[in-house]
Amino acid sequence: MKFSQIFSSFGSKERGRATRAVGIDIGSSSIKVVELEERENILTLTTYGETQLGPYDAKSVGESVVLDAKKEQQALIDVFRESAVKAERAVLAIPLSASFVTIMNLKSAPDEDLEPRIRIEARKYIPTQISEVTLDWAEVANGGEGTESRDVLLVAIQNDALKRFGTLTEFVGLAQSPSEIECFSTIRALASDGEEHTAIIDVGAISTKLYIIRGGLLQRMHRHRAGGALVTKRIAEVLESSFDQAELHKRTLSSATPKYRDIERAHRSTYERALGEFRHVIDEYEKSAGVKLSRIYLSGGGALFPDFSSEVGESLQKEMILAAPFAKVAYPAFMEDVTRSIGPAFTVALGAALRAYEG
């Protein structure tokens, strides 16, 4: 089973291949959308947009918030209106905070049917009642011929979250929209067919995630609770300023910015532990799989901080590539600079939109 099939049954029945579709990324600090249209068998970018969620809860731009249903609906309506979204189909990327993803190692014969055992074994891994989540799974690897070890990717989404996001898309007139966990949208947007072993680091507002991928399928995932909101908080402490002022400094940072070095140190210290953990996970994977990762993509809004790609590459001793998800679709030539500059922040939304054109 390829990653594009995981959760393919969620959100009611698929309605066939879309002509125009929008991917929706519900983050902790913003909602992002990317709309695509198929024109003569070419997927083309028609519009994109983002709305910050902090102001809907009387908080600052960049702050992580949990909105009630009415405010969340209003935020989605606003970004659809401002971006002039016209899609008749949507795919929604569910945040990892509302889901659970892990690798189960099962002892079994190479030809044993694992399906009857999955729900039983899943109880040992999922920190909630099985009845409260919707499960899916895929075998990702085995120990090779003659071994009795098989790795299974187990994924679960809280039923309450599925209901919440289903209601949200219905509110904007896009009922029965399929959903998937954000990590699969990210992989779809960035993974290339010719890459056997690679990785993605996704830098979000409240957490930073490492995904290790083999042949387009998730093999390992590690999440550390450090992200852009924590960076802004630390910058505010260093500058003795408000969160709003610190966020502005972070977004417009250059070598000419006052206290540039102090801001840079605050940023670096936020991710030191996360990068150390990622290095350990990568080393363990390379050793167990007997391979070396070819490259690592750096994605998410936090990836846009100046020189962060070099910092991560230095820490992990790997080639780093700043995510360019829009390379998978067509767009007008005059948008080249824009798509390059916003690409890392819109990876999840683009990957979700691409889901509508599979199968």
Q: What is the pLDDT of residue 150?
A: 84
Phi/psi-derived region of residue 307, left when phi > 0, alpha when psi is between -120 and 50, beta in every other case: left
- DSSP 8-state assignment for residue 291: -
User: For 328, phi and psi rounded to 5 degrees?
Assistant: -85, -5
Reported as half-sphere exposure (CB side, CA atoms, 13 A), residue 351 has a value of 30
pLDDT at position 10 is 40
Using the structure block, give the residue that is written with the tokens 């600052």: 60
Q: What is the pLDDT of residue 142?
A: 56
Phi-psi region of 100 (alpha: psi -120 to 50; beta: other; left: phi over 0): beta
CATH no. of 3-230+267-355: 3.30.420.40
Token pair of 359, please? 């199968």
- Residue pointed to by tokens 């910015």: 257
Q: Which pLDDT does position 261 carry in this prediction?
A: 93
**Which is nearest to 179 in space by CA: 195, 159, 201, 205?**
159
**Domain boundary assignment for the chain:** 3-230+267-355
Q: What would you report as the CA-atom Rg of the chain, rounded to the nearest whole angstrom?
A: 20
List C-alpha distances in Å: 339 to 45, 312, 334, 342, 344: 10, 22, 10, 5, 9
Residue with structure tokens 């290790």?
212
Q: Could you give the residue ranges of the DSSP H alpha helices within 203-316? A: 228-239, 243-251, 260-289, 308-316
> 293, 197 in Cβ contact below 8 A?
yes
How distant is the alpha carbon of residue 62 from its chain centre? Answer: 17
Q: What is the pLDDT along the chain (359 residues), one digit of tens a residue?
A: 334 444 443 434 444 566 899 999 999 999 999 999 999 989 999 999 999 999 999 999 999 999 999 999 999 999 999 999 999 899 999 999 888 888 888 888 878 888 888 888 888 888 888 889 998 888 876 555 556 788 888 999 999 988 999 899 888 888 778 889 999 999 999 988 777 899 999 999 999 999 999 888 899 999 999 999 999 999 999 999 999 999 999 999 988 888 999 999 999 999 999 999 999 999 999 999 899 997 899 999 999 999 999 999 999 999 999 999 999 999 999 999 999 999 999 999 999 999 999 86
